[in-house]
Amino acid sequence: MDAMERLAEHLSKRRPELRQIKKDGQKIIGYPPGGYLPEEMIYASGALPLCLARGGDPEPVAESLAYIPRFIDTFCRCQIGYRVMGEEVLYQLPDLIVVPVTDINMRGIADVWDYYTDVKTFRYGVPHNKRQDALDYYIGSLRLLKEKLESFTGITITEDKLKEEIKTQNRMRELFRNISQLRQPGKTPAISTQDFLKLHHASFYADRATLREILETLYEELKQKQVEETGKPKVLLTASTLAMGDYKIFNIMNEVGGEFIFEEAAEGMMPYEHEVSLDGDPILAMADTFFMKRVVPAWFRPTRERVDYLINKAKELKVDGLMWYQLLYRDGYDIQSYSFKKEFEEVTGLPFLKLESDYDTSERGQFKTRVETFVEIMKQRGN
Amino acid sequence: MYSNLFKMCGYTDEEIEEQRPRIEKALERMGVFNEAAIEHAEKTVQANYDVEMVSVQKLLWVFMHSCIDGVLARDEHDYVINCNWPFPVQMTLAMIAAAREAGGKTWVGMPVQVLWMVGGTVFDILTPMLERGELIGQPVGKAHCSQYQIYTGAIDLGILPKPDLGIGSGWFCDQAAETEEMMSELYNFEIAYLDGVNDWAWNAWPNLDERAVKYSANTIKLALKRVKEITGIETTEDQLKAGFKYVAKWLYGMQNITRMIGAADPQPISQANVNLPYGLWAIATDYPDQAVDGLATMVREVKRKIDEGEGVVPKGAPRVYLALRTNVDTTPIRMVEELGLCLPTVFVDWLCPQELTKSTYTDMVDKIAEGLYRRPQLCDASAALMYWKTLCKDFNMDAAIISYAYNCRPWAVDPIMAKLDLQKELGIPAIVLETDGYDTRNYSAEQLRTRLESFAEVVKMNKEMKAAA
């Protein structure tokens, strides 16, 4: 059995396992994706982190309309749908929801949990720039989170315990990084971007030790894998949210003969590009990794760092084009795409395609036509 | 050609004569220096306001002057500093005073907000600006903030000048700052962002987390510092205090009007007219004395109308709360009144008791930041819910129209919660309506009327049944 099959088998049993864990008394802390919450802190408190990242289904979107108006980002809006429909076990498990408030859409998630459910939230704000006062605020937020987790679980988070968890998480990050680095500029990757993304999604609820073992094996398998160059156009993907289950664009890209070779997303991936230092105050070290070093999302101001990152990434990876995938009403992405497109095309000379989803089934046809044309353009330019 | 219009807006003949070159230059730039546009403006302003009220004329005077100043800011000053909504008025007033004391080389103001009041309720010229804004990063159909579409469009069309520094509002919503960021990339001007983190715990309001208040306050300080670096203008503590005093005076006058209208039966004036003092509560002006005079005049006029038993709706009409002021067009307000519903207060005109508790902060800028979040709708959903419930109880409302700006992300979270809360906890009927504060194309008065007519019938019937019981 190869590593991916083992992972699938593990995940198929994971929901009942989590139910049992909760029944046995371990606290489960839910949180939305976004990369601003260090999971090591939750592990150090004796609780289990559970990233609530489901998306891509039209039904929860429709269901959410009874609770929140439709003008909030699709992913954020549909979160209440997953909870109230009751079909997704993961959304029934949290004892507490921690929401790093990055923008109003994310705050909306906290508001609906507070208003419509009996699960309480703990919120902390993520400032929108990387000045010293903003960093200080984020550091303060992490200290408050530590206090909250301690009072909620009754377990003191010691520095030693936290560092131990950071070390474990660093190994997880390293494994993700190692696997990611197997993707070579301009080459067909050893692991598809969709599978790589699924590993991230697995990390949101899989048993950590099991996942770590699987990632170790997978890395070894991938290193040995002989990859045949497909000659397909190579695409860099950037997204506001890549939710667990929202794989429409990957399937379409595959169908029309292109391939993603790298992805950047504000939400939906485990932050893996940087380790947390084990020197000094662990809170400061986590703030450095999770706030200062990560690529800023489009709602940051200034946001030049993100623009430069994507342009440099496109050059470095020798891609043939960039796809910008955003969810409806995520205004930061919609607004930034306007000036970004101009600059990206001017600087790189590469084509740019923007797709916007509301997790609606009817989008598929239109998406396919547009991606098909995009791939054709890249092919023609490649000849 | 335009004398009659300007007289409706409180200008005297002498003033029109004296200001003629400036007026004509500004009208030209706004695309309304022609007879048809002026004729249309005369009709528009009369449809929006009761221009026979002296207070309305006086307040319109302040808006017209401020609008012309904003349009001509680049022609008349070396530096232009724009402050964008939602924005601390005290801070803008202090900067205006500092700029004036420094000799007037720098112009500071809130030109976009003035432009949408004048461009909407006087000239009715916002659509081309909105359309242009839709072409610049805020496409139609994506629920972008129409206020910021106007901002983008007005600058791109050359109606408003490109500033040297924009002080952007990112403390309350994201769209404002995101649009500013795009503008700075496209038009190459600098933005100083006021930032906020919006992480208030549910039901924490009005006990605001000091850490978050101080963070926002620091961004205000940094913006003031940047203004000094660019223009040499230093805003002093005394100027900030004076800004506070002005706002306090304004709050007092507004609350007087709100209380008088709220307690009167019949409702003495249309809430459409209160658009003007509301606007000047939230928009800093270079003409504070004239604004206060206009407000005081309105207080007197409302009192006189109450004393004389004048009313715009029948006596004993059901009392309804309307949750949004459509700033650029008062027809939805008038339509509710025409349906025979009394509007004792609308939008956020009223200050609820929780807002009025004394600040414990001593630093002026901290006070400003705290003051912003003390307004419940500018804080979070739980605060807004508390405000609506308190207001509906306090004003003995029979029903609520939760009209909300669909394209305002922070305000698009809680309308359904509000409806449920008011129905369950207060037992009053409530209706949720999608509307828009700045783009009249996004709602049709007739469509609203169809929905509200049946709602009005239910409300009237409820009231009669209660009275009979």
Tell me the chain B residues in contact with residue A140 when contact means C-beta distances shorter than 8 Å.
211
Query: Which among B137, B198, B415 has the least Cβ separation from residue A335?
Result: B137
B34-51 per-residue burial string, b: 16 or more CB within 10 A, e: under 16 = eeebbebbbebbeebbeb
Q: Helix, strand, or coil here: B33? A: coil
DSSP of B347-411: TT-SPPGGGGSPP---SHHHHHHHHHHHSGGGT-HHHHHHHHHHHHHHTT-SEEEEEEETT-GGG
Assess whether pLDDT exceeds 80 at residue A19.
yes
* Nearest in space to B418 (alpha carbons), one of B384, B467, B377: B384
Distance in angstroms (rounded) separating the CA atoms of residues B321 and B324: 9
Q: Does A104 touch chain B (CB under 8 A)?
A: yes
Q: Is B439 a residue whose pLDDT tops 90?
A: no
- Kindly list the structural domains of chain A, giving each domain's residue range(s) and its CATH number in brackets, ordered by start: 1-383 (3.40.50.11900)
Q: Give the mean model confidence (pLDDT) for residues A94-108.
A: 97
pLDDT at site A154: 98
B300 pLDDT above the threshold of 90: yes
Residues A303, A240 contacting (CB under 8 angstroms): no
**pLDDT confidence of residue A383:** 65
> How many C-beta atoms lie closer than 10 Å to residue A313's C-beta?
16
Handedness of CA B314, B315, B316, B320 (dihedral sign): positive
Count of CA atoms in the C-beta half-sphere (13 A) of A345: 12
Can you tell me the distance from the alpha carbon of B182 to that of B167, in angstroms, rounded to the nearest whole number?
Answer: 14
Q: Which of residues 225-264 of A touch B (CB under 8 A)?
A: none
* CB-based contact B178 A335, cutoff 8 Å: yes
What domains does chain B contain, in order, with CATH numbers? Answer: 3-234 (3.40.50.11890)
Q: Are A4 and A23 in contact (CB under 8 A)?
A: no
Strand-pairing partners, residue B166, are: B82, B191
Nearest CB partner across the interface for A339, out of B137, B142, B175 = B137
Cα separation, A130 vs A114, in Å, equals: 29
Inform me whether the C-beta atom of residue B310 falls under 8 Å from chain A C-beta atoms.
no
Instruction: Report the alpha-carbon distance of residue B195 to residue A129 in Å, rounded.
Output: 9
Mean pLDDT for the stretch of residues A355-362:
97
Q: What angle (nearest 5°) sits at the alpha carbon of residue A310, between those of residues A309 and A314?
A: 120
Q: Residue written as tokens 């609780």?
A: A47
Probe site for chain A from B132, B178, B188 (most A CB atoms < 10 A): B178
Mean pLDDT of B220-242: 96
Residue A382 is predicted with a pLDDT of 82
Burial-class residue B54 by CB neighbours within 10 Å (0-12, 13-18, 19+).
middle
Q: Is the peptide bond before A38 cis (omega within 30 degrees of 0)?
A: no
- CB of B335 closer than 8 Å to CB of B448: yes
Output the six-digit token pair for B169: 């509002």
**pLDDT of amino acid B468:** 87
Using CA atoms, how far apart are residues A94 and B274, in angstroms rounded to an integer?
Answer: 47
The residue of B190, B198, B423 whose CB has the most chain A CBs within 10 angstroms, and thus the best one to mutate to test that interface, is B198
Q: Answer yes or no: are the C-beta atoms of B178 and A335 closer than 8 Å.
A: yes
Q: Which helix (H) or strand (E) covers residue B434, if one does?
A: strand B430-435
Q: Determine whether the interchain pair B144/A335 forms a contact, defined as Cβ–Cβ distance below 8 Å.
A: yes
| pLDDT category of residue A235 using cuts at 50, 70 and 90 | very high
> How many whole angstroms separate alpha carbon A257 and alpha carbon A251?
10
Please, are residues A178 and A218 in contact by the beta-carbon 8 Å criterion? no
B391-404 residues labelled b (16+ CB within 10 A) or e (exposed): bbeebebbbbbbbb
Stated as kind and residue range, the H or E segment containing B464 is helix B445-468
Asked if A71 has any chain B CB less than 8 Å from its own CB, the reply is: yes
Chain A, chain B: beta-carbon pairs less than 8 Å apart: 149
Confidence band (pLDDT; 50, 70, 90) for B467?
A: confident
For residue B308, give both structure tokens.
């004389």
Mean residue pLDDT of chain A comes to 97
Check CB contact of B209 with chain A, cutoff 8 Å: no
- Classify residue B416 as exposed, middle or buried by CB count within 10 Å of its CB (0-12, 13-18, 19+): buried
CA distance B127 to B274: 24
Pairwise CB contact (< 8 Å): A114 & B136: no
Contact B413 A68 (CB under 8 A): yes
Q: Report which residue type is found at A346.
A: E
Mutate to test the interface with B, among A31, A68, A71 (most CBs of B within 10 A): A71
| pLDDT, tens digit, 9 for 90 and up, residues A129-145 | 999 999 999 999 999 99
DSSP B224-263: HHHHHHHH-----HHHHHHHHHHHHHHHHHHHHHHHHHHH
pLDDT for res A1: 57
Any CB–CB contact under 8 A between A129 and chain B? Answer: yes
Tell me what pLDDT residue B329 has.
92
Mean pLDDT score, B133-156: 95
Judge whether B392 and B320 are in contact, CB under 8 Å.
no
Residues of A in contact with B382 (CB under 8 A): 111, 114-115
Q: How far apart are CA A352 and CA A235, in angstroms?
A: 10
Which candidate, B150, B191, B187, B197, places its Cα nearest to that of B167? Answer: B191
Model confidence at B449: pLDDT above 90? no
The mean per-residue pLDDT over the stretch B387-399 comes to 97
Exposure class string for B120-157: b at 16+ Cβ within 10 A, else e: bbbbbbbeebbebbbebbbbeebbbbbbbbbbbbbbbb
- Return phi, psi of residue B158, to 5°: 80, 15
SS3 content of chain B, % helix, strand, coil (to 5): 60, 10, 30
B402: β partners? B432
Across residues B110-121, what is the average pLDDT? 96
The answer to whether A352 touches A319, Cβ cutoff 8 Å, is no
Query: What whole-number distance in Å separates Cα of residue B231 and Cα of residue B236?
Result: 15
Cβ atoms of residues A293 and A273 within 8 Å: yes
Contact B380 A107 (CB under 8 A): yes
Average pLDDT of chain B, as a whole number? 95
| Band (B447; pLDDT cuts 50, 70, 90) | confident
The two structure tokens encoding residue A20: 């049992």
Q: Does B348 touch chain A (CB under 8 A)?
A: no
The answer to whether A123 faces chain B, any CB pair under 8 Å, is yes
Residue in A69, A121, A299 nearest the CB of B415: A69
Cα separation, A261 vs B339, in Å, equals 61
The partner residues of A236 in beta bridges, in order of sequence, read A262, A322
| Residue B107, SS3 per DSSP | strand
Mean pLDDT of A300-320: 96
Structure tokens at A288: 């450095």
Look at residues B88, B70, B318 and name the one whose alpha carbon lies nearest to residue B213.
B88
Interface of B with A in 135-174 (CB under 8 A): 136-139, 142-145, 168, 170, 173-174
Residue B398 binned pLDDT confidence (cut-offs 50, 70, 90):
very high
d(CA B130, CA B127): 5
Report the C-alpha gap between A323 and A233 in whole angstroms.
Answer: 12
pLDDT exceeds cutoff 90 at B327: no
